[in-house]
Chains A and B, each alone.
Chain A
Amino acid sequence: MLTMLAKLLKALNSESAPWQVALAFSMSLIVALTPMFSLHNLLVLLLAFVIRVNLSAFFLGVAAFSLLAMVIDPLSVQLGASLLAQPGLQDFWTELYQSDFWRMTAFNHTLVLGGLLLSLLAFIPVFVLSRLLIVMYRQRLLNWISRLKVVQVLKAGKFYNLYKSLAE
């Protein structure tokens, strides 16, 4: 965990481009808000490995957003259930249900549908916001944080040595 945090700090501080970290956060949101073992999450995982997003940010994002999911899941379930029960969408769902592929995606699962929809809706805002925050962090907060006494104390500790060894 310390290693991962150190890697994230390293990425935040300068190594990775802001879009790489921001995209990792956005992708992790999908995995966190939907059941882990789903077909679409396999695709997201493949993309996370193949696209040059920051993997530390991705996995930490999954962990952090999973905490958020504990609060959001009931809402996702309600959203998914109401969509699947929409009379106007019944033909559409029924048609999808006839296909083995679509059924393998578990689209008819209330949490999968609701969580996926919420995470896709939040994908762009999370990407833009996190990218903005990373840029602001690097421009304004990094120097200020480095000057803090508490940070200097931390720099003398094990965590900072680990961070440095990774940075070198």
Chain B
Amino acid sequence: MKQWIRWSGLTAFVVVAALLAVFFLFAAGPLMKWGIEYFGSRAAGAKVDAENVSLSFSPLGVRVDNLTVADAEKPMQNLLEFERADAQLAIGPLLLGKAIIEDLRVDGLKFSTARSVDGTLEQDAKEPVTEDNIENDKSQDSLLSGVELPTAEEILAREQLHTETAGKAFREAYAKHRGSVESTMESIPDGSALSRYENEIKALTSGRFESIEDFKARKAKLDELKKQFRNDKQAIAEARKAISEARSELALRLKELKAAPAWDMDSIRSKYQLTAEGAANLSALLFGSEAGEWAEQALYWYDKVQPYLDSGEEASEDVAYVREGSFIHFPTDNPWPDFLLRNAQLSASTVRGDLMIFVENVTHQPDVLGKPAHVVVNGAGLEDIEDLTLDAVLDHRKKPGTDTLTLSVKDWTVRSMKLGVAGAELQKAVAQVQGLAVVTEGNVNAQADMQFSQTEFSTQGKTTLARELGSALKGIRKFDVRAGARGKLTSPALEFGSDLDRQISAAFSQRMKARQNELEQKLSLAINQRLNEYLGGSAQDLQRLNEMDGSLSDKLDQLSSLGETKLEDYQAQKEREAKEKADRKEAELKAKRDAEKAELERKKKEAADKAREKLKNLF
């Protein structure tokens, strides 16, 4: 037996194991700190700092002290920070590389706290994020940007106007065709050239041929002229073609340009809800901006968490037989996904008071765990809120996943909420809120009901509207608001409805209509100004093209007529002359005969007259 056992080997094994344990005892903390900061920063897009990370062995756990996560959009602000987090890990799964956190407790969690140092990551620090940038981004991305009524200048600066696009297209088309038309027009004969052609043709075709050589010389000249005519006609045809193309395209572009302002107005009107129905929606104005901020915050956190909730693996039976192999899972009460946060309890401090957050079963392999993730936020005795409960069930066990969020707010004391019109303000009210939101495949279907009671309104304006609104609001002691969001999670269609609308809509809609008309007039004026900039001289340009085409048509007729001129040949001229001579002789003979005949007739008549005179004298 002695020769089989190597005691030195056993000692070496024990020593190596002990050294490894010591190494992990001292190095694991810094290594984990580095890991949290490095991978956390990459995930958050901003600096993640932990003051200290330590490892404990009994029970196996990790403790993180004073962790801060900077806000990527506001580098001088923390997205969140906490004082202390204790996590208990399961040893068995850890040996298989599976991080199962049995219990996590986070104390002193705070959101949106100020930072003393810039939280921008070094590689991202190229463009400083300013407040202006943030505001600009918000104004562009805000879910509810359509609810506010921006000025005409803001809208025109923000929108890509169809008028601009059509105007640029018209200008480009004009510039393109102008060059081609001008180049073809250069080879067209002008008026003096045509007169010269006529004179030359007249000189060639008038007078008699003196000899056969004279005839040949004239014919050669005439042929040369006809060749020139053909070339000119070809040039005219090309010019007319270029003009025709230019005219048809420019006419089309002009038609589009003239129609663009109306299209822009329709588009802006629908987008910015300048319709009477949209403008009169007092509820949207009441809660629009706040609801938008809440929705954006909720979406921000949902976007961060949601990718980690989907199972990255297909079902076990579909696993390809890859070289690395894979785990096959069997039914159990205690499944081991690669990562699991089984229980977590977070105590958070907010400006309205302390919140308790309970989290269960968070994993990226919910199909392995067989349970949905569950988050409950409780706030009792908050400032202005008696009780707040938010319950979220994130069920991604099967695709598509379904996330359900339930919200309940009890006795929320609402103070100083501006109505956004005529200085009217909801000074005080007590609200009860119940909400339900379901998100599936990136689509949200949410509904919230709010009951406001013990309402007190005030108006500060001196206008007739303010007085009317004040008197209308004075009699209102309670009202309901229903808010809904449907459609794509990133751009849902929001609906607000309230019986408050009905109560004061008459007074309110009048003011909104006036504002709408004023805004539409300004918009229309500005768009038409832009249209005129593009249209300037375009009608004259088209008229000029038409005139050019008409002039070319005349020239073409003239050249065709000139080109048809023929020169008779020398033999024909001789024959014609002989015929003319014979005709002349025959005419002379005929004239002579006619004269003789007339003389004979005259003599006959005279003889008859004389005979008749003699006969009269006889009686």
- A: residues with CB less than 8 A from B are 35, 37, 39, 45-46, 48-52, 55, 70, 73-74, 76-78, 80-81, 84-85, 90, 93-94, 97-98, 100-101, 103-104, 106, 108-112, 114
Contact = CB atoms under 8 A, between A and B. Distances in A.
Nearest to A75: B321
Contacts of B6: 49-52
Contacts of A45: 13
A165 to B, nearest CB: 21
A98 B328 contact: no
A104 B95 contact: yes
19 contacts: A50-B5, A50-B6, A50-B10, A73-B323, A73-B324, A74-B321, A74-B323, A76-B325, A81-B325, A84-B328, A85-B328, A93-B330, A103-B92, A103-B93, A104-B95, A106-B96, A108-B328, A109-B325, A109-B328
Contacts of B10: 49-50
B336 interface: yes
A77 B13 contact: no
A77 B92 CA distance: 23
Nearest to B323: A73
A102 B6 CA distance: 29
Interface string B333-363: 1101000000000000000000000000000
Contact of A103 (B9, B319, B324, B336): B336
Interface residues of B, number: 30
Contacts of B328: 81, 84-85, 93, 108-110
A70 B486 CA distance: 53
What secondary structure prevails in chain B residues at the interface with A?
loop
Interface of B: 3-6, 9-10, 12-13, 92-93, 95-97, 317, 319, 321-334, 336
B505 to A, nearest CB: 65
A41 to B, nearest CB: 12
A49 B12 contact: yes
A106 B95 CA distance: 10
Contact of A81 (B319, B324, B330): B319
A110 B326 contact: yes
Given A77-B322, A110-B325, A39 B95 contact: yes
Contacts of A97: 329-332
B3 A52 contact: yes
A151 B321 CA distance: 46
Given A51-B6, A52-B4, A94-B331, A112 B325 contact: yes
A101 B96 CA distance: 11
A133 to B, nearest CB: 22
Given A39-B95, A94-B330, A104-B96, A52 B324 contact: no
Contacts of A85: 317, 328
A101 B59 CA distance: 18
Nearest to A101: B92
B92 A100 contact: yes
A108 B330 contact: yes
A49 B9 CA distance: 5
Given A49-B10, A73-B324, A109-B327, 8 more contacts: A46-B13, A74-B321, A77-B321, A77-B322, A93-B328, A108-B330, A111-B325, A112-B325
A78 B323 CA distance: 9
A90 B317 CA distance: 14
A105 to B, nearest CB: 9
A82 B5 CA distance: 39
Nearest to B16: A49
A90 B316 CA distance: 14
A70 B324 CA distance: 10
B321 A78 contact: yes
B119 to A, nearest CB: 37
Contacts of A111: 323-325
Given A39-B95, A49-B9, A50-B13, A108 B327 contact: yes
